[in-house]
Amino acid sequence: MPFSSLGLSAPLLRAINERGYLAPTAVQSAAIPEILRQRDVQGCAQTGSGKTAAFALPLLQMLMAAHTEAPRRTRALILVHTRELAAQVGETIRVLAQHLPERFKTAIVFGGVSINPQMMNLRGGADIVVATPGRLLDLIDHNALRLDAVATLVLDEADRLLDLGFSEELARILALLPARRQTLFFSATFPPAVQALADSLLRDPARIDIVADPADRPDITQRAIAVDAHRRTQLLRHLIAQQGWERALVFVATKYAAEQVADKLRRAGLDAEPFHGMLSQGKRDQVLEDFKARRVQVVVSTDLAGRGIDIAQLPVVVNFDLPRSSVDYVHRIGRTGRAGECGLALSFVTADSEAHFQLIEKRQGAKVPREQIKGFEPVQIVPMATLAANDTTGAPSNGGIKGKRPSKKDKLRAAAQEKP
């Protein structure tokens, strides 16, 4: 199915062609016609599936049809969970709108930077606002923005909006919106809390659930290396040198770990930078720009970079620390193997994290064989209860599965077996 069959205008089709889109993705084919019919949409699709263009294209077409003269009133509001995703969505809209006969003003607003330039930019209004919830409310409190004319609300990565504790901010924002509006609700996952929010917001929605076809899945090779926790940085340095990775995105659990690991890599002679939420917006933008331009070889990041960050031709993602959940795992490794490229996702598995990695495997429905690298063979022993969880002989298994933790007796038995 070509884009021309979806009811999009010639200027949008020209922008699509220049951007190199050959054919719509599954979520775009399903969502664009429904949005143009002004239906509410609940869309579920994997990372990298083209969700941004799926709502941006019809949104621009509807705004063009309903365009009015100044003063501008905000007709479309797009809520996202990070500054980086806000900037990426805003850039996609800018590129897709470049050939439209009318010039729409898009305001991109987020916290962590001075509010004054954003207030100045909003003078005279904005047709589209892409915002993180906290800064949007700050601007409303400063009378820089009103939401009473919003015709379309988009919640992008809605599951992360809830995960990051934006529930109260969302409630305040929703109370300021017109009751009669179109709502587009996109999320990679729909756990109960997210589905409950969707049910409360959507009216007779078109439900789009894109199950990835194996042939369409990114070409990502997954590897898991067993290693002692204190030797992970040494192993990372060894692999970068041995494998000749020009760039690597390394995920850690905390801001402190991002700084610490990046510092150790720099002292070893590598061009490495940390990336986390405590950095200034200017610094975060610079790190991403340098990484994309290959001026930085290694970025050590918290899950801040797990979604909404598109790095072309990124060869490898390393889980230095395992993610909290299998969903976060999928999003992390989805930073590589994009746009038809091959990618490598490598996880360091320690004795303490073995049970958790088994849980990730179970949620994925896939087994990743454990490897050992010569010179970095682990010394620490995986607890017997965890080994039992990995047993395929039919023995009872409970290690690492939430809600089925080993009992005190199991732990004592395992400890006794580990003694020399």
Over residues 311-346, the pLDDT tens digits come to 778 899 999 999 988 878 888 888 887 666 788 999
Which residue type, as a one-letter code, is found at position 277? G
Locate the domains of the chain by residue range: 3-209, 218-380
End-to-end CA distance of the chain: 65
Q: What is the pLDDT of residue 383?
A: 67
User: Residue 231, Cβ neighbours under 10 Å: how many?
Assistant: 19
Question: 275: which strand partners?
Answer: 301
Q: Look up residue 108 and give its two tokens.
A: 């991109």
Is 218-380 assigned to CATH 3.40.50.1470? no
Which residue type, as a one-letter code, is found at position 50? G
Alpha helices in 66-191 (DSSP H): 83-96, 115-121, 133-141, 158-163, 167-176
- Stretches where the chain sits below pLDDT 50 are 214-215, 391-420
Alpha helices in 38-114 (DSSP H): 51-65, 83-96
Phi, psi of 183 (to 5 degrees): -125, 125
Three-state SS at 410: helix
Q: Tell me whether domains 3-209 and 218-380 share a fold.
A: yes
Measured CA to CA, the distance from residue 197 to residue 200 in angstroms comes to 5
Is 206:39 a contact under the CB 8 Å cutoff?
yes
Q: What is the pLDDT of residue 418?
A: 41
CA distances from 21 to 9, 57, 217, 342 (A): 15, 12, 17, 19
**pTM exceeding 0.75:** no
Q: How is residue 277 annotated by DSSP?
A: T
pLDDT digits (tens, 9 = 90+) for 4-55: 899 899 999 999 998 878 889 889 999 999 999 999 999 987 766 788 999 9
Q: What is the pLDDT of residue 411?
A: 47
Is 3-209 assigned to CATH 3.40.50.300? yes
Q: Of 210, 216, 219, 202, which Cα lies nearest the Cα of 51?
A: 210
Phi, psi of 248 (to 5 degrees): -150, 135
Task: Report the DSSP pairing between strands 106-109 and 272-275.
Answer: unpaired
H/E stretch holding 361 reads: helix 354-364
